[in-house]
């Protein structure tokens, strides 16, 4: 069965430190890949997505993600974390673009220390 795994439930980093959030998927083909961010009490907002081409994707708020087919991974990175980045981050995949159905990972909660 198709699945999306975010191995880290909770990550704490210091402000200004670099960040990497992991995402792995299990599908037969390369799906469309997304990262969303959810601030407390809010809905989800798209950070970036990958569907083809350059495997390093730039998103909003200084985030980037790299697709690695050999590892079935789509990890999210940021060189220098800001306190406002504290939120929950979700990786998602879409396999059947006709329906647009997404499968979400369980999320990673990011805490930023001053």
Partner 1 sequence: NAGVTQTPKFQVLKTGQSMTLQCAQDMNHNSMYWYRQDPGMGLRLIYYSASEGTTDKGEVPNGYNVSRLNKREFSLRLESAAPSQTSVYFCASSGDRTDIGETQYFGPGTRLLVL
Binding mask 76-95 for partner 1 (x = CB under 8 A): --------------x-x-x-
> Can you say whether the dihedral through the CA atoms of 24, 47, 31, 97 is positive or negative?
positive
Residues 16-75 that bind partner 1 (CB under 8 A): 32, 34, 36, 41-46, 49-51
Name the minimum Å distance from CB 114 to partner 1: 26
Furthest-apart CA atoms within the chain: distance in Å: 44
Number of residues interacting with partner 1: please give it, by CB under 8 A. 27
Q: How far is CA 65 from the centre of its chain?
A: 7
Could you tell me whether strands 102-104 and 87-94 are parallel, antiparallel, or unpaired per DSSP bridges?
Answer: antiparallel
Using the minimum distance from each CB to partner 1, give the nearer residue, 43 or 114.
43
């Amino acid at each position: 069965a198709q699945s999306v795994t975010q191995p880290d439930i909770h990550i704490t980093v210091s402000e200004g430190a670099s960040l990497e959030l992991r995402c792995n998927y299990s599908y037969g083909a390369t799906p469309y890949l997304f990262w969303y961010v959810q601030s407390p009490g809010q809905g989800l907002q798209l950070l970036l997505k990958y569907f083809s081409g350059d495997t390093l994707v730039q998103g909003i708020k200084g985030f980037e993600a790299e697709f690695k087919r050999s590892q079935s991974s789509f990890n999210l990175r940021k060189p220098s974390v800001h306190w406002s980045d504290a939120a929950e981050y979700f990786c998602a995949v879409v396999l059947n673009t006709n329906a647009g159905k997404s499968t979400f990972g369980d999320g990673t909660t990011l805490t930023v220390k001053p």
